Amino acid sequence: MKLALVTFLLASLSASVCADDKQASKSIRIPCSTWFHGYLHMADAVVVGRISEVTERNSDIDPESKVFSYSLGVSAFGGDCPELKGVTEIRSENHNPVKKGDLVIMLVHYYENRPNLATGSRPLDVIKSVDDPIAKLFISKGINYQNYTDADMLVLKEAMPVEYENILPRREFSRNNTESEQDAP
């Protein structure tokens, strides 16, 4: 009887732990909007993660073109996107090659209305580690470029020059408007 009780308790505890593990891991699918590049200034969140699985197939639209479907294990994210809270895996696709094992940055935006998420057709940015300066910037400040310091902008310039060129005038315009509003009587 005691052995049966101990076995029952161990089985119950094991089932409870397995249920907690299933609740702890959350996987979502984020489609790629191939008609939208997905610039940083239009993103709502930035995800940092490692590609864990990749499959490729020919495109339904252009048989000469490849589509890469992948799973991204989420390490961290920054930005304003509550739908990503607790997500441990993102499944998506892109027409740009991705490699299993790469640590990447994915820009995520709302498609038309919340809560529909999408990612643009831009290639994922490969980084060396989660401690990469651009990853740290995005995790700590998200995509709120209006609050990027000059040092933050230098990090952006080095890691993502095209995004830097796009963000710099927007940041300056935003700062100038804020200063004008503060100076007004």
Classify residue 9: in a domain, yes or no. Answer: no
80: left (phi over 0), alpha (psi -120 to 50) or beta: beta
With respect to residue 185, please indicate whether it lies within any of the assigned structural domains. Answer: no
- Measure the CA–CA gap between 39 and 42, rounded to whole angstroms: 5
Among the ranges given (45-59, 69-83, 100-114, 168-182), the one the predictor scored with the smallest mean pLDDT: 168-182
CA distance 106 to 125: 7
Q: How many folded domains does the chain comprise?
A: 1
- Is residue 68 assigned to a domain? yes
pLDDT tens-digit series, residues 109-155: 998 878 899 999 999 999 999 899 999 999 999 888 988 999 999 99
Residue 171 lies in a domain: yes
Q: What are phi and psi of 27, to 5 degrees?
A: -115, 135
Which pTM value belongs to this model? 0.79
Query: Does residue 13 lie in a domain region?
Result: no
Residue 67 has pLDDT above 90, yes or no: yes
Say which residues have a Cβ less than 8 Å from residue 64's Cβ, sequence separation at least 6: 58
Domain of residue 165, residue span: 26-180
- Residue 17 inside a domain? The answer is no
Give yes or no for a contact between 49 and 100, defined as CB atoms under 8 angstroms apart: no
Q: Is residue 4 part of a domain?
A: no
**What is the CATH classification number for the domain harbouring 157?**
2.40.50
Mean pLDDT of 50-69: 93
- Torsion-angle region of 85 (φ positive above 0: left; ψ -120 to 50: alpha; else: beta): beta
Residue 15 lies in a domain: no
pLDDT at residue number 91: 98
